[in-house]
Amino acid sequence: MIPIAPNEAGPAGCGQCKSEVPLGFDFEYAYQPIVDLHTSSVFAHEALVRGPNGESAQSVLAQVNDSNRYQFDQACRVKAIRGAAELGIQELLSINFLPNAVYRPEACIRSTFNAAREYGFPIERIIFEVTEGEQVADRAHLVNIFREYRRFGFSTAIDDFGAGYAGLNLLAEFQPDIVKIDMELVRDVDSSRAKQAIVRGIVSICTALDVRVLAEGIETPAERDFLRAAGIELMQGYLFCRPAFRAIGVIAPGSLA
């Protein structure tokens, strides 16, 4: 059963929750699988924003500004859920969100509940993760958003762990369901002693906190093999499957070995 989020507007002066201003540009989604090497299966699909004809994410994000950030964030949630439902995705769905576009989580989440109900996609299969590169000025606000989303029944993920804001201080305040290791730490990890030590440290910390670790951006079997030996089973990257535009990607033969 989908719980009902409070039917409230945002804080005084924001007015965004009642805004009917059109976004002003179109976008679509590509879906990239996240694999579980332990079960040799697809664990989830991440919804990745693209232009209406498959253009890069940057071509879309460059059009987002302070005046349309809220509308874009809300449209992303609805379109990602609708696309996943239309494709028949049965696994978890990971959706990036813009924390700076969320005023009050209990109010801003209403469109997500409505989309889940309309398209028959259970909220228990939705993961919310902070979008790559988003600068969060108020960490306490982000922690509050995560806590509220968990209370509503969504899973949560910290993206790009080890880069920017997504570090140990954030993890100390909130333990998400999943931590996604920044791809810069993944690249050539099999040949870098420093990266290997850092990755092992992250795995050790997350294991103690009952947080699952996901490595993203994997491109080679050597990277996969080291990460698996380090105790990471959830992985994502071109080695397994590239993002599929408005489609479900097919896992490359032999990549789960």
Mean pLDDT throughout 84-109? 89
Beta pairing class for 92-97 and 41-50 = parallel
Percentage of the chain modeled with pLDDT above 90? 71
The larger pLDDT score, comparing residue 73 to residue 99, is at: 73
Nearest C-alpha neighbor of 142 from the set 123, 180, 169: 169
Structural domains in the chain, sorted by start: 27-245 (3.20.20.450)
Q: What is the pLDDT of residue 136?
A: 63
Q: pLDDT band at 166, cuts 50/70/90? A: low
CB 109 within 8 A of CB 137: no
Please, are residues 212 and 178 in contact by the beta-carbon 8 Å criterion? yes
Per-state percent for the chain, helix, strand, coil, to nearest 5: 40, 20, 40
* pLDDT tens readout for residues 2-46: 454 544 434 434 555 555 567 889 999 999 999 999 999 999 999
Please give the C-alpha separations between residue 116 and each of 75, 119, 159, in angstroms, as whole numbers: 13, 5, 23
Q: What's the maximum distance between 2 C-alpha atoms anywhere in the chain?
A: 55
pLDDT at 1: 42
Q: Is the predicted pLDDT of residue 78 greater than 70, yes or no?
A: yes
Which one is predicted more confidently, 58 or 108?
58
User: Which residue type occupies 19?
Assistant: S
Model confidence pLDDT, tens digit, residues 106-140: 778 898 999 999 999 999 999 999 854 456 667 78
